[in-house]
Amino acid sequence: MSNIHVTTTVNGDEVEFLCDPRETLLDALRDKLNLTGAKEGCGTGDCGACSVTMDGRLVCSCLVLGAEAEGKQIGTVEGIADGETLHPLQQKFIEYAALQCGICTPGILVATKALLEKNPDPTETEVRYWLAGNLCRCTGYDKIIRAVMDTAADLRRAS
Amino acid sequence: MVEVNLWSGLRALAGGQDKVEIEANTVGEVLAGLVAKYPGLQDAIDAGVSVAVDGRIIAFGLTEEVKPDSEVYLLQRLKGG
Amino acid sequence: MDYHIATSFDDAIAVASKAQGITRFLAGGTDVLVQLRADIVTPDTLIDIKHIEGVKDISRESDGSWRIGIAVAGAEMTEHAALMADWPGVVEAMDLVGSTQVQGRATLTGNLCNGSPAADSVPAMVAAAMSATVAGPNGTRQVAVKDIPTGPGRSSLAKGELITALHIPARGTSSGDAYLRFIPRTEMDIAVVGCAVNLTLDGDTITSARVVLGAVAPTILLVQEAANAIIGTSLDEAALTALATAASAACNPINDKRGTIEFRTHVAGVLAKRSAKIAYERALANTGNSA
Amino acid sequence: MALDGPKTSGFTAVGTTPNRPDGLDKVTGRAKFGADAQAPGMLHAAIVRSPHAHARIVSIDTSKAEALKGVKTVVTRADFTTGLKGENWNILENVMAGDTALYDGHAVAAVAAISPLIARDAIKLVEVEYQVLPHVTNVDAAMAQDAPIIREGAANKSVPAGLHPNVVRYHESGHGDVDKGFAAADLVIEDHFTTEATHQGYIEPHACLAQLGGDGKGELWCCTQGHWNVQKICAALVGIETSQLRVTASEIGGGFGGKTVVFIEPVALALSRKANRPVKLVMNRSEVFRASGPTSSTSMDVKIGMKNDGTITAASGTFRLQGGAFPGAPMEFTAMCAFAPYALENVRQVGYDVMTNRPKQAAYRAPGSPMAAFAVESVIDELCKELGLDPIQTRLKNASHEGTKASFGPKFDKIGLVETLEAAKAHPHFTAPLGENQGRGVSCGFWFNHSGETSVTLALSEDGSAQIVVGTPDIGGSRASMALMAAEELGIPYENIRCTIADTASLGYNEVSHGSRVTYASGLATIAAARDAVKRLCGRAAAKWGIDEEAVVWEDGCAKPSGPNAGDFDPLPLAEITRTMGATGGPINGHFEATPEGAGVSFATHIVDAEVDPETGKTSIVRYTVVQDAGKAIHPAYVEGQFQGGAAQGIGWALNEEYIYGEDGRLQNDLFLDYRIPVASDLPMIDTVIVEVPNPGHPYGVRGVGETSICPPLAAIANAVSAAAGVRLHDLPMSPPRIRAALDAQKDG
């Protein structure tokens, strides 16, 4: 079995890893690069806990092969904060109690950050449909949606 | 003597009674007294019971006090999610 | 599993023709990877076709028709305003596949080649009379999308063949398309029933129509009787009732974890009516000025 | 602890909503969950699972798997302890099949290899020869005379003679004379209801990292609701002493009852011992659905008699629950919770625990209660409709209150059902206009709540900060609640307190985080430990001042003389005392080790509006309001979160979630694709009203809040859907095909 050598950029850092062709980007992030923020909740693209961005596009890292990351820009939850300054979404999620167990939180943060970059003024319905692929079993989504809407409003006021 | 109320499923194991008089000052003595009187209850008690004393549901504490006029109910051991 | 990045379609065809065992092409990968992870299909050869020139392009040809590259993701179609204006039914059908995340990867071609009778985009593609360019060791041919799936998980493509582009006809004036599906939740489910309608008007009278059902038979169904029920009408209540009856009559579904025979048969009629109404409104609004 | 009645006013920390201590870790991705642990030299494991619902295991040939490059070891049942009895035997049998595979997904062997891929490849090389046996997965079918027997002799003595051997436990309780009561009714309605098994649906699959040496000493890292329980069971199953196994609970990615038991942990330990290397074992989603612990499915009959004025004259119910291939379906809770909201003179409830060829059920949020409420509250709704009565007024008329003889026997202490009903009645939702095809449903729900063995240590630092060490894994923000309660007692800021979940070697025994017990029991223990520390702080002040310890009081974070007679001394702040504590008698800690008894029961009332598309049978939840008695909300935002989460899970259970078994006895929907939990776009905002009727058994009046919130939704939604569709739904989930079929049946009938 021959492994594939991959060079990619994760959260701005150029990294390299070797992977089996069957391994996913999620496997590579977690097992090769020690970035365990992305979680495997299903392995079938149904739960969104493994959400990352690839060249700016939101994807499930469980549905991307590690080999496909070659030459790409990958963004994970570990890259959302700027040093010790949290992204406004991260701050708001804590303040709004928008997480209980927190297993879905990395994926939801990556997904909502991508949403607000694309659409700074989403309606509640737009937020809900954008996040339909991010399952949360604890919160009933209420406080998550409120945190996202309020962050969006803050960011609009600030810009 | 304390009057102990059994759930009716236990009646068959307690001589057809669902109220049993036991000499007891604690929950532990209630349970020991029940088994002494009706050995058939041993399995059910071993499987886990809670005891409601005057409306307070005691899940474990064998040392909890029972008074002669206490309302005492045997309940199946509580657990949860 | 061998992973091969194809540099051209000829390269992909050459590798696929020589490959032993199971070969899969990787575009969006949202089906290939699920099947790989679940040990349903572990390909011996996986050919990544995303690096071939032009596969990410959406382009309007000189005759007004559209060419969709085989690695164009659903999200890229949704973001393409002119394509959306011409063929909202096709674009919305693709957009219904999976989550936002899946939309970042999944492709029309993949949805077609996966061979699921419940694939959302396929009824819309067939209603739109789309075609595919298929290339293989023996050359290139044009195939109607309708003729590509031959049963669950099966296609009419031969060994070494692959789709190199999809084509949507020019959107004439006074015509419109729509696709609706039924799922129990609001998102993330596989269609229990899907229905696409594409029609053209003369004034307020339907002059041509294609009605296509998904998830109610081993392959998607192009239902001529359903189209006949509304051609020549202005989609009045009687026509809608006849449409629903014809759509339900064409169904040959199964009972499974997603729905019953009775339910699918009934809902096919409901969706046919609702899709036809949307397509009709779009056709009325399509005066040709938008393009 | 002695209670003089709960503190009900003058709170400074309790009732505020500060940020949670684990918030930063969880929004930055660095919180370590079950699958995030690594160890040097770690192997990866995978489990071979039965593809049959019921089959005798004729032989297992592991030689090909063992020959695969990179495979280090394989275990089967032979690698576990023998001679276990009772529940430990059941657990072992479930963790690794013995002679017989009892359900689709039952573990039969496991492999450890140098990579997850090799382990997965290797399990395909383990050759198991099965002799397929007849199977049964439906509860009613499993009770029928011709049903295949899952295991002879599994029934206990409670089961009346003449029942099928698959009926393994029986419950009966009640009081009064139900026949007389029914005779006195103006209207009696009796109906049959079913619910399908659902899964807790936690997003984090079970995961663990185990290390066990030939010296009998082990380390285990796992996601669990209760690591002392894991320690006890795993030690027994692999045959080591309990104290030799140290278990650390990771951050837990949801549990809801499903992580109160063990599935993979003993397997990882056995592999580790045999390979003499650390072993990581992580379930995939399919394994979670097929082989963890879903809830029971039910078949229920409920009969209720009512006077024209709404008075309930009698109620009876029969509740049949299947709990998979082992005893334990929570039918006694179904029975005992069923009529608990109502003050009834005549009531009788019967429960059957039935074995089937399904995975061993585990607790799911108020185990057994939601199904009972579904049946009972549906019948009450029908009675109200037939008699033209208001649903809330009728429930108020019959509501249990302090002193009511509960349907399960004893008298209720102080409870808050009436208060939740009054709050629901006053809520604008209850009288808001409804749109076309919409209906409104109301339901009450009840759960006991639980306490259990609890240990807490509170340690003060020299700088005046405090650390609390608790043993109940934090599944919803409990570390914040503990810190709030300690801040309240110590009189220091919340931010100066850190709460940690200890491993099993660092604290005394703690029962599992279940039964809504954490804020009650660990909270009570935290308060007691803080008071213990305060007593020592007062002692140091007394010594310094040369007065009696009894003459010192603790107020606003300072020791003060209790009055003018005690002496005239400046208040001594906590940090002043701790600064010199090493020299004034040593470290100052507080402890609590006991089993608090006094978890108050709790009630909720939910209101829901549903819209049903009559053409497709699709239901949308358009408005939802939860009203629940929390006793006292320590961190109100997290209480709201529990209310909302329970409602959302209830919505899934009511509308779309179900275990679907095929004719072959295999689970057909073992992925989130077809096990349809609610997604963000399925739900509206969920309004909450926190009612506070203090629990006399807690110093601040806390009642557990985690579970009661899932009791009313099934019924409330069924009542709303039935009102919207104009036809009564008796079976969950109320999926679109079911609603369409009910509408068609009504039209034909």
Band of pLDDT at residue B44, cut at 50, 70 and 90: confident
For the stretch C69-125, pLDDT in tens is 999 999 999 999 999 999 999 999 999 999 999 999 999 999 999 999 999 999 999
For the stretch D156-172, pLDDT in tens is 888 999 999 999 999 99
Residue D143 has pLDDT above 80, yes or no: yes
Residue D220 has pLDDT above 50, yes or no: yes
Can you say how many angstroms the Cα of residue B74 is from the centroid of all Cα atoms in its chain?
4
Query: D368-449+600-748 is classed in which CATH architecture?
Result: 2-Layer Sandwich (3.30)
Q: Are C236 and C217 in contact (CB under 8 A)?
A: no
Q: Please compute the mean of the pLDDT values over residues A107-122 and round it to a whole number.
A: 98
CA distance D309 to B4: 35
A133/C188 CB distance under 8 A: yes
Question: Candidates 3.10.150.10, 3.10.20.30, 3.60.20.10, 3.10.180.10; correct CATH number of B2-76?
Answer: 3.10.20.30
Residue D3 has pLDDT above 60, yes or no: no
Question: Candidates 3.10.20.30, 1.10.150.120, 2.60.40.1760, 3.10.105.10; correct CATH number of A88-158?
Answer: 1.10.150.120
Query: What are the φ/ψ torsions at residue A146 (nearest 5 degrees)?
Result: -60, -40
Q: Please compute the mean of the pLDDT values over residues D662-686 and round it to a whole number.
A: 98
Residue C291 has pLDDT above 50, yes or no: no
D169-203 b/e (C-beta count within 10 Å ≥ 16 → b): bbbbbbbbebeebbebbeebbeeebbbbbbbbbbb
Q: Please compute the mean of the pLDDT values over residues D88-93 and round it to a whole number.
A: 97
C201-226 b/e (C-beta count within 10 Å ≥ 16 → b): beeeebeebbbbbbbbbebbbbbeeb
- The overall average pLDDT reported for chain D is 97
Q: Give the residue with greater pLDDT, D162 vs B55.
A: D162
Name chain C contacts of A51, Cβ cutoff 8 Å: 101
Which of A40, A101, A129 shows the shortest C-beta gap to D475? A101
Chain A CB within 8 Å of residue D33 CB:
yes
Q: Are D221 and D64 in contact (CB under 8 A)?
A: no
- Where in chain D are the domains? 23-31+451-594, 368-449+600-748
Among C95, C266, C275, the strongest candidate for a mutation testing the D interface, having the largest count of D CBs within 10 A, is C266
Residues 6+ apart with CB under 8 A from D402: D412, D413, D414, D415
3-state secondary structure of D55: strand
For the stretch A61-82, pLDDT in tens is 999 999 999 999 999 999 999 9
Tokens of residue C109, six digits = 């071609």
Nearest by Cα to D95 from D369, D362, D419 = D362
Chain D CB within 8 Å of residue C69 CB:
no
Please state which CATH class domain A4-79 belongs to.
Answer: alpha beta
pLDDT at D158: 87
CA distance D421 to D399: 9
Which of D120, D674, D737 shows the shortest C-beta gap to C260? D737
Q: Are D342 and D412 in contact (CB under 8 A)?
A: no
Provide the 8-state DSSP code for A78. Answer: G
For the stretch C241-282, pLDDT in tens is 999 999 999 999 999 999 999 999 999 999 999 999 999 999
Residue B57 has pLDDT above 90, yes or no: no
Query: What are the φ/ψ torsions at residue C37 (nearest 5 degrees)?
Result: -65, -35
For the stretch C214-232, pLDDT in tens is 999 999 999 999 999 999 9
Name chain C contacts of D46, Cβ cutoff 8 Å: none
Name chain C contacts of A115, Cβ cutoff 8 Å: 100
Which of D286, D669, D679 shows the shortest C-beta gap to C188? D679
Band of pLDDT at residue D721, cut at 50, 70 and 90: very high
Cis status, amide bond into D327, omega within 30 of 0: no
Q: Please compute the mean of the pLDDT values over residues D73-98 and round it to a whole number.
A: 96
Residue A1 has pLDDT above 60, yes or no: no
Which of A57, A65, A133 shows the shortest C-beta gap to C75? A57
Band of pLDDT at residue A91, cut at 50, 70 and 90: very high
Q: What is the largest CA-CA distance in chain D?
A: 90
For the stretch D463-514, pLDDT in tens is 999 999 999 999 989 999 999 999 999 999 999 999 999 999 999 999 999 9
Chain B, nearest residue to D411 by Cα: B55
3-state secondary structure of A51: strand
Question: Candidates 3.30.1490.100, 3.30.365.10, 3.40.50.300, 3.40.120.10; correct CATH number of D23-31+451-594?
Answer: 3.30.365.10
Tokens of residue D271, six digits = 């592999």
User: What's the order of all strands across the beta sheet hosting D686-691?
Assistant: D438-447, D602-613, D618-629, D686-691
Q: Packing angle between helix D227-238 and helix D86-95, nearest 10 degrees?
A: 80
Chain B meets chain D (3+ C-beta pairs below 8 A): yes
3-state secondary structure of A118: helix
A133/C98 CB distance under 8 A: yes
Residue D701 has pLDDT above 90, yes or no: yes
Nearest by Cα to B15 from B45, B36, B38, B35 = B38
Band of pLDDT at residue A159, cut at 50, 70 and 90: confident
Q: What percent of chain D has pLDDT over 70?
A: 99
Name chain A contacts of D200, Cβ cutoff 8 Å: 137
- Where in chain B are the domains? 2-76
For the stretch C28-79, pLDDT in tens is 999 999 999 888 999 999 999 999 999 999 999 999 999 999 999 999 999 9
A64/C3 CB distance under 8 A: no
User: Counting Cβ atoms within 10 Å, is residue B32 exposed (0-12), middle (13-18) or buried (19+)?
Assistant: middle
Torsion of CA D194, D197, D198, D204, to 10 degrees: 170
- Between A128-142, B43-57, D177-191, the lowest mean confidence (pLDDT) is in B43-57
Q: Please compute the mean of the pLDDT values over residues D431-439 and round it to a whole number.
A: 98
In the 3-class helix/strand/coil scheme, how is chain B assigned residue by residue? CEEEECCHHHHHHCCCCCEEEECCCEHHHHHHHHHHHCHHHHHHHHCCEEEEECCEEECCCCCCECCCCCCEEEEECCCCC
Band of pLDDT at residue B55, cut at 50, 70 and 90: confident
Q: Are D407 and D334 in contact (CB under 8 A)?
A: no
Neighbours of D591 (CB within 10 A): 17
Chain C CB within 8 Å of residue D748 CB:
no
D660/C263 CB distance under 8 A: no
Torsion of CA D716, D331, D674, C36, to 10 degrees: 150
User: Counting Cβ atoms within 10 Å, is residue D546 exposed (0-12), middle (13-18) or buried (19+)?
Assistant: exposed
Task: Please state the CATH superfamily assignment of the domain spanning residues C175-285 in this structure.
Answer: CO dehydrogenase flavoprotein, C-terminal domain (3.30.390.50)
Among D69, D203, D622, the strongest candidate for a mutation testing the A interface, having the largest count of A CBs within 10 A, is D203
Band of pLDDT at residue D667, cut at 50, 70 and 90: very high
Chain B meets chain C (3+ C-beta pairs below 8 A): no
Q: Which residues pair with C73 in a beta bridge?
A: C107
3-state secondary structure of C247: helix
What ipTM is given for this predicted complex? 0.97
Among D283, D287, D653, D679, the strongest candidate for a mutation testing the C interface, having the largest count of C CBs within 10 A, is D679
Torsion of CA D555, D560, D562, D564, to 10 degrees: -130
Among D735, D743, D747, the strongest candidate for a mutation testing the C interface, having the largest count of C CBs within 10 A, is D735
Nearest by Cα to D600 from D452, D449, D404, D454 = D449
For the stretch C35-46, pLDDT in tens is 998 889 999 999
Residue B71 has pLDDT above 80, yes or no: yes
- Where in chain C are the domains? 175-285
* β strands within D397-501, DSSP E: 438-447, 454-460, 466-470, 497-501
Q: Which residues pair with D57 in a beta bridge?
A: D130
Residue D90 has pLDDT above 80, yes or no: yes
Residues 6+ apart with CB under 8 A from D468: D456, D457, D458, D482, D483, D486, D497, D498, D499, D500, D526, D529
Query: Nearest 5°: CA angle at D120, between D115 and D121?
Result: 100
β-pairing, C205-214 with C193-202? antiparallel
Total number of residues shown for chain C: 291
Which of C187, C256, C263 shows the shortest C-beta gap to D736? C263
For the stretch D176-205, pLDDT in tens is 999 999 999 999 999 999 999 999 999 999
pLDDT at A154: 97
Chain D CB within 8 Å of residue C74 CB:
no
Name chain B contacts of D330, Cβ cutoff 8 Å: 79
A101/D683 CB distance under 8 A: no
For the stretch B4-39, pLDDT in tens is 999 988 888 898 888 999 999 999 999 999 999 999
Name chain A contacts of D115, Cβ cutoff 8 Å: 20
Taking one residue from A and the other from D, the number of pairs with CB-CB distance under 8 angstroms is 183
Chain D, nearest residue to A96 by Cα: D637
Chain A meets chain B (3+ C-beta pairs below 8 A): no
For the stretch D254-276, pLDDT in tens is 999 999 999 999 999 999 999 99
In this prediction the pTM is 0.97
